[in-house]
Homo-oligomer: A and B are copies of this chain.
Amino acid sequence: MNLITHSRRGDPLFSRGQKGGRPLKHKSSQFIFKYLEFGQIEVLTAAFMMRFCLQEMDASPCNFPVSHENPSVCLFVFVCVCVCVCVPRLYLRYNHWIPKVLLLFFIVVDLSLAIFEEPAVFLLPVACTMLVELLCLLVFALRLTHYAKVIPRDKFWKDPKNICIIVTLALTLVDMIVYGALDAAGCYAVRWSRVLRPLLLVNVTEGRQLRRAFRSIRNALPQIFYVFMLFMFSLLIFSLMALKLLGKRGLKTIDGAPYFTNYLEIVLDLYVLVTTANSPDVMMPAYNSSFVFAVFFILYILINTYIFMSVFLAVVYNNYKKYLKEEVRQLVRTKRHKMARAFAVLQEPKAAGGEPVVSQANWNQIVRLVQPGISNAHRELLWSVGDDDNQGCVGKLAFVQLADLLNIEVITLKSRPHPLQSAFPAFYLSAPSRLVCRLVQHRAFVVAYDLIILVNAVFIGLDEENPLIANSEWAFLALYLLEILLKLYVFEPRSFFSRHNFWNCYSSSKIISTRFDTIIVVSALIATIVNSALTSSGNYTSRQILDIVFILRVLRLIRVVDNIQRFRAIINTLIRIGPAILTFGQLIIVVYYIFAMVGMELFKGKVKFYEEDSSDPAKAYCGNELLRGTAFAQLNYCKNNFNNVVSSYILLVELTVVNQWHVLSSGFAAVTHASARLFFILFHIMVVIVIINIFVAFVLEAFFVEYSVDKSDLQTSLERKIEELQLAVEQEKLEDNLVNAMETADNEQGTGQSANKPPLMFKIASKRYRTVDALLQRMFEADLDPEDFAENDDGDDGGNFANPAFSSA
């Protein structure tokens, strides 16, 4: 539900003067607009559907003009009206931000119960955690009931995610009762429903990106399965060959065990070899006996590691792209379909009996409704893009584009004079002050500070025990503060700190990341002062504060990268694909949670960790006799255990990184049973072969989109319009910095609103996307037909994109 934009409470737009067009007369219309504010596109559709109902039919659903609309629209209107009448305030409440945040909060609480449950980081009594979980279940159940009341009954029961939540809740309840009973009776019981908890996160309405990721995986699974089967066949054949070739030669491994004599062990060893984790150790005994056997292993690695793993990536990538494309196509079709329906409601026949159009007044009203925060200038700009020929109305195609146009982030720059200039014009415009401004804007200023940063880096690297170096830190801090103050003096503070200046607004200007920089410098200053105060007050130095000081000092150095254009381009791309990577983060957390729960049940307490200074002899074998002499204990992996949820997560990360996973898995197999390895192999297949490949596929695809130079059609048409209207911020002007432009304006002694220097300037926020959906749409734009309106309600049958209500009525 990334498209949701909340309008502020008490929308002032309805009270504002509405010039021209048919104003919204009915008092109830205001209520309905507010009631329906659940997403941009939905508002557009529903708003005009509603308006149509109210204006044309006086709220009686039976005498609407069937003649000039087709039956499906009538049906739609009918359902809308019914819903309006039946559930007046519930929907508003359902989409209010408070219940949403509360729901997410309770999901987080539910998931983090793992920290307090046996095996726990901080153990709480069972009764306590059970009570909290019960509370969570209650909240989820309430939320679901609320939802069920809001949307039509049949739609509710058709949606698999609701069923999934209900089943999860029921199973959890059953499990809690059974566990409580068994626990009370003193029997051994397993809280198996804990693995179901992440399903709640996946299935809430807000988890759309996560569900999409899961759907990609599910869709890719059959293809992956066939390749995996072939890979397994190859593995089994190679193992058979290895058994026949090497089993009878009486070779010994490095610890004297017979080498390659057991078929199952060979299969396992060769599976591990595919992940390269036991290379070259596994082949050393054979290689020591003859170099010909090395050829066997090299062939094996070539086929299974290089070729099969590339094929896995290719299959995952291909399927991922294919299904994502299909999903995005449906999403765009649905969106366009809805826009087309909204258009159908709003349309007025053109004078000359031509195509139907939407008047400017109506258009303005919608835009203000949909995006309440939009500036008048921005709105007028959008209108001039839609109404390219200045006809005072827009056609269907231009109207449908509106949703995409609103997704393009346009920065409105106001060339305001510096506040100091307004306050003390004589001083600020004096010769020394101007010289300072020129100096700060000069390239040498940037280079000088880059050099200071490099010197600082060397000083950080040196031993901070030396008092000279310890004190130099104050000098560097003073220099950084001076820089910020100078910049504040020279540049307009609001533009200096504005939201868009964070990292990547002006892709070629030098004033970027200033906010990030300022935060780091000020935090470092505070931390250093606190640290000094603590040190001087007593002899005590807080290790934590010192750590923070160190990290902040090092982070200051990052700024150097930012001054090199090539690097900035790469970093900007990485930052742009960041939100999408976060979706994968959620995915990983969900999958890890399931494996952590299972792992904790299987392996809790089997491996113990003793503190570094412990003198317990059991430390050498992690407190489990079975581990004596194993590689697991020798490598001191005792802390890699499933004894609580935090160490489980860290262990799972280590398993994802793959290296030494055979040591870890055989360690846990040693303390339980050989079949425990299955858990680790399953984890490897699920996470490394499937999820990591999907992650790589996504990064690849997103990078390719960023690399391809051609911009979206809409974006260029918007840019063209900006240029046409001479409102563009030119790149060179940005290079020279905004102040220069201001100075020119000042020199003309105008009011700052001279004819050829408009006070407002626009800039498209390079290639940043408001939402993940916009990025996805961009990724597959080339394959989408702009005329594809999905007039036949097919677009909605995609189902997965349907919003909770109305969308496919």
Contact = CB atoms under 8 A, between A and B. Distances in A.
Given A659-B659, A660-B279, A695-B306, A287 B650 contact: yes
Nearest to A707: B318
Contact of A650 (B233, B291, B637): B291
Contact of A310 (B233, B240, B696): B696
Interface in A553-610: 553-554, 557-558, 560-561, 566-567, 570-571, 574, 581, 609
A699 B279 contact: no
B551 A699 contact: no
Contacts of A355: none
Interface string A272-299: 0000111111001001110100100010
Nearest to A557: B237
A570 B311 contact: yes
Interface string A309-330: 0110111011000000000000
A639 B314 contact: no
A550 B241 CA distance: 7
Copies per complex? Answer: 2
B570 A230 contact: yes
B659 A574 contact: no
Contacts of A636: 254, 284, 288
B311 A703 contact: yes
Nearest to A703: B314
Q: Is the interface of A mostly helix, strand, loop or mixed?
A: helix
A624 interface: no
A301 interface: yes
A734 interface: no
A460 interface: yes
A558 B245 CA distance: 18
A640 B284 CA distance: 9
Interface string A437-478: 000000000000000000001001100000000000000000
Contacts of A558: 237
A502 interface: no
B653 A298 contact: yes
Contacts of A279: 654, 657, 659-660
A257 interface: no
Contacts of A699: 307, 310-311, 314
Contact of A639 (B241, B284, B318, B700): B284
Interface of A: 226-227, 229-230, 233, 237, 240-241, 243-245, 254, 263, 276-281, 284, 287-289, 291, 294, 298, 301, 305-307, 310-311, 313-315, 317-318, 457, 460-461, 547, 550-551, 553-554, 557-558, 560-561, 566-567, 570-571, 574, 581, 609, 612, 635-637, 639-640, 646-647, 650, 653-654, 657-660, 692, 695-696, 699-700, 703-704, 707
30 contacts: A226-B570, A227-B570, A230-B570, A237-B554, A237-B558, A240-B460, A240-B557, A244-B547, A244-B553, A245-B547, A254-B635, A254-B636, A276-B658, A276-B659, A277-B659, A279-B654, A280-B654, A281-B660, A284-B635, A284-B636, A287-B639, A294-B653, A301-B657, A310-B696, A310-B699, A310-B703, A314-B704, A317-B700, A318-B704, A659-B659
